[in-house]
């Protein structure tokens, strides 16, 4: 393990594109003997002073409301408040490189750009929302008979956002954000999964990463594998139990220097008794420290490859070294044989979604496991019990199925190699 950590941190040099002059970009201020302790945050706040959380996040009533997110400060010691902007008021569409917005359109609203008008404004989503539009298309296709047997009608909430969970019948369910984009969180598909899987934690993590526009990975609340809150949350040696859906504390804070096992929410399958942080989180912390050191030396760290950890503190499904990209189990071990050379054209399309889902499904011997391309992606053409159909990059059926003998009629069919399209 120690070796693995050293190898990974050694690779940081590769991940950083350095520029030999320093811009006035706030120093990370992470000390060398780093760890995000209460003491560290107390000192940090004394020296730097967090901006007080605005009223809207403190009161949360009908007129003043917003979401509190960790701010781009070391160890997320400070929080910032992003106001919910009301109907008809000005909003900002944002985008990479734009400043952190002070407000975003509140629930049920989206930022509408109208040609000829100077500022976009918050308008009701309803019929104009992407989710409702996709429902409409689905219904039309169902009418004209072009829907496959495993295709699911997109589920929208009352505000017109995508519901948080998308399922592939008989396989897995995964989390999506309000816009239907896949985010962290996956579990085996069961009949009532939507009750236990709501993806609140992974949606918060995705939102923080997007709104804060951070060039570096950030720490938010720890999630569990299916995107809910880890019921055990710690800062250094002080821990508390929280509700898996709301993230709100359900117990007093407890000093855990004598082991985590004493807490009511300790789960021996998910947690270690002796340490809260997971291997990957230690590596991530040391990376952030390295960035800090580089910046102290006057280098500006221009780009940082994606966060190596998932919001649950385990390894992200795609990892890389100087020469290769590969799919890994959550413990960081390579899933054989999903390894590609970094320079190859295949590396860009590698997503390891199939490799991970397969691992999850193989633990349940009763379920069918998907076939993956040599590089860890779903095979775009699936044949089962005499029927063939196309799937998207998440393994979800798209379009109507055909009998196996007519599979060449399918759009995803390639006479030479079904993996070729996806790898191109």
Ligand X SMILES: *[C@@H]1O[C@H](CO)[C@@H](O)[C@H](O)[C@H]1NC(C)=O
Residues near ligand X, by CB under 6 A: 38, 55, 59, 61-64, 137, 140-141, 144, 146, 237-238, 255, 257-259, 261, 273-274, 321-324, 326, 329, 331, 333-334, 337, 339-341, 344, 346, 374-375
User: Closer to ligand X at the Cβ: 257 or 366?
Assistant: 257
Nearer to ligand X (CB atom), residue 62 or residue 127? 62
- Does a cis peptide bond (omega within 30 degrees of 0) precede residue 337? yes
> Measured from the CB atom, is 258 or 384 closer to ligand X?
258
Bridge partners (DSSP) listed for residue 354: none
- For ligand X, the closer of residues 110 and 389 by Cβ is 389
Q: Tell me the closest approach of the beta carbon of residue 379 to ligand X, in angstroms.
A: 13
Structure tokens of 249? 């504390």
How far CA 156 is from CA of 122, 160, 166, 201, 227, in Å, comes to 19, 5, 11, 19, 19
CA distances from 414 to 48, 144, 410 (A): 59, 26, 9
CB of 245 to ligand X, least distance (A): 26
Q: How far is the CB of 338 from ligand X (least distance, A)?
A: 6
Those residues with Cβ within 8 angstroms of residue 2's Cβ, 6 or more apart along the chain or in another chain: none
Q: How far is the CB of 135 from ligand X (least distance, A)?
A: 12
- Minimum CB distance to ligand X, residue 347 (Å): 8
Give the span between the Cα atoms of 262 and 273, in whole angstroms: 9
Least distance CB 118 / ligand X (angstroms): 30
Nearer of residues 297 and 322 to ligand X, judged by Cβ: 322
Find the residue with minimal CB distance to ligand X.
259
* Structure token digits, residue 326: 């590969």
Between residues 61 and 365, which has the closer beta carbon with respect to ligand X? 61
Whole-number Å distance between alpha carbons of 143 and 267: 48
Select 144 or 192, whichever has its Cβ closest to ligand X: 144
| Smallest distance from ligand X to CB 259, Å | 3
Instruction: Give the C-alpha distances (Å, rounded to integers) separating 189 from 258, 284, 400.
Output: 38, 31, 22
Please, which residue, 296 or 360, has the CB nearer to ligand X?
360
Nearer to ligand X (CB atom), residue 3 or residue 191: 3
Whether 79 and 68 have beta carbons less than 8 Å apart is answered as: yes
The CB-of-55 to ligand X minimum distance in angstroms stands at 6
Q: In the complex, what is the shortest distance from the CB of residue 343 to ligand X, in angstroms, rounded to a whole number?
A: 8
């Amino acid at each position: 393990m120690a070796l693995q950590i050293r190898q990974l941190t050694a690779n940081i040099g590769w991940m950083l594109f350095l520029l030999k002059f320093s811009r006035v970009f706030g120093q990370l201020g992470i000390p060398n003997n780093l760890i995000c302790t209460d003491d560290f945050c107390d000192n940090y706040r004394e020296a730097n002073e967090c901006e007080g959380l605005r009223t809207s996040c403190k009161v949360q009533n009908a007129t003043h409301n917003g979401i509190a997110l960790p701010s781009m400060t070391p160890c997320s010691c400070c929080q910032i408040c992003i106001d919910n902007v009301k109907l008809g008021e000005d909003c900002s569409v944002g985008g990479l490189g734009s400043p952190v917005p002070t407000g975003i359109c509140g629930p049920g609203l989206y930022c509408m750009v109208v040609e000829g008008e100077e500022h976009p404004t918050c308008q009701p989503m309803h019929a104009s929302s992407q989710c409702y539009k996709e429902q409409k298309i689905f219904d039309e296709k169902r009418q004209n008979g072009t829907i496959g047997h495993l295709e699911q009608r997109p589920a929208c909430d009352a505000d017109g956002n995508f519901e948080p969970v998308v399922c592939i019948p008989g396989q897995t369910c995964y989390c999506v954000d309000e816009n239907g984009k896949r985010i962290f969180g996956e579990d085996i598909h069961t009949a009532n999964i939507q009750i236990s899987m709501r993806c609140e934690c992974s949606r918060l993590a995705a939102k923080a990463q997007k709104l804060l526009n951070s060039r570096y990975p950030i720490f938010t609340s720890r999630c569990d594998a299916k995107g809910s809150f880890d019921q055990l949350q710690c800062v250094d040696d002080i821990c508390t139990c929280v509700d898996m859906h709301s993230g709100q504390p359900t117990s007093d804070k407890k000093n855990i220097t004598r082991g985590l096992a004493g807490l009511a929410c300790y789960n021996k399958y998910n947690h270690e008794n002796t340490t809260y942080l997971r291997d990957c989180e230690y590596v991530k912390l040391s990376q952030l420290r390295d960035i800090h050191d580089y910046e102290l030396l006057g280098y500006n760290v221009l780009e940082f490859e994606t966060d190596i950890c998932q919001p649950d503190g385990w390894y992200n499904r795609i990892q890389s070294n100087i020469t290769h990209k590969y799919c890994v189990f959550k413990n960081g071990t390579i899933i054989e044989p999903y390894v590609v050379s970094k320079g190859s054209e295949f590396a860009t399309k590698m997503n390891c979604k199939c490799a991970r889902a397969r691992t999850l499904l193989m633990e349940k011997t009763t379920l069918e496991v998907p076939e993956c391309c040599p590089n860890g992606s779903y095979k775009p053409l699936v044949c089962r019990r005499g029927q063939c159909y196309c799937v998207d990059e998440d393994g979800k059926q798209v379009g109507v199925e055909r009998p196996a003998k007519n599979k060449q009629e399918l759009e995803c069919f390639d006479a030479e190699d079904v993996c070729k399209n996806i790898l191109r």
